Amino acid sequence: MSRVRENEGKLLKAALKAMKNAHVLWGVRVGAAVQGEDGRVYEGCNVESWVSGLGLCAERCAVDHAVLHGNRRINKIAVVMDADQNREPRPCGVCLQYIHGFAKGTKIKILMARAEKGKIAPDTVIAKTLEELLPFPYKK
């Protein structure tokens, strides 16, 4: 995480901490953290259900946590997932659209990383903008 700014490192660590609380039945353990417009960090983890469609992704959980505490705009988001998964750590399309609804513009940064042995795995942090990951969001 040496190339990551200090405040971004805090966001990634919050996502890593949240990942430990994920309720995973068959999938991938994921944690997320959003920075609200007020600068505070709000965490979320994925919660799976045996019934399809009833689960919740970590990113939406974190956004909902921010909204619960009065923040309707987010400045930045971090997503961390288990390193043993053979997947690139990134939000799904549904989460990207959801983030768009609360983002402070399409240029907000989305930090993505893998966790390994309880830490952010070296050289796995990727930073993209919402616009890069969701070039054609659904808009009003």
CATH number of the domain to which 20 belongs: 3.40.140.10
Residue ranges of E strands in 29-108: 30-36, 41-45, 74-82
Residue 85 pLDDT > 80, yes or no?
A: no
Residues identified as active-site: 59
Tens of pLDDT, residue by residue over 22-75, are 999 998 999 999 999 999 999 999 999 999 889 999 999 999 999 999 999 999
d(CA 74, CA 67): 9
Residue 140 pLDDT > 90, yes or no?
A: no
Q: Is residue 61 in some structural domain?
A: yes
pLDDT the model gives residue 3: 55
Q: Is residue 96 in some structural domain?
A: yes
Residue 1 pLDDT > 50, yes or no?
A: no
Q: Is residue 139 in some structural domain?
A: no
d(CA 34, CA 56): 16
**How many domains, the chain?**
1
Residue count of the chain, please give it: 140
Could you give the percent of the chain with pLDDT greater than 70?
96
Q: Is residue 140 in some structural domain?
A: no
Q: Is residue 36 in some structural domain?
A: yes
Q: Is residue 138 in some structural domain?
A: no
Segment of 17-21, 83-87, 120-124 carrying the highest mean pLDDT: 17-21
Give the pairing of strands 41-45 and 74-82.
unpaired
DSSP helix, strand, coil percent of the chain (3-state; round to 5): 30, 30, 45
Q: To 10 degrees, what angle do helices 93-102 and 58-68 make?
A: 20
Q: Is residue 1 in some structural domain?
A: no
Residue matched to tokens 């513009």 = 105
d(CA 38, CA 59): 18
Give the pairing of strands 41-45 and 109-116.
unpaired
When the pLDDT of each residue in the chain is averaged and rounded to a whole number, the result is 93
Provide the phi-psi class of 123: left if phi over 0, else alpha when psi is between -120 and 50, else beta.
Answer: left
Strand partners, 28: none
Residue 55 sits in which domain range? 6-133
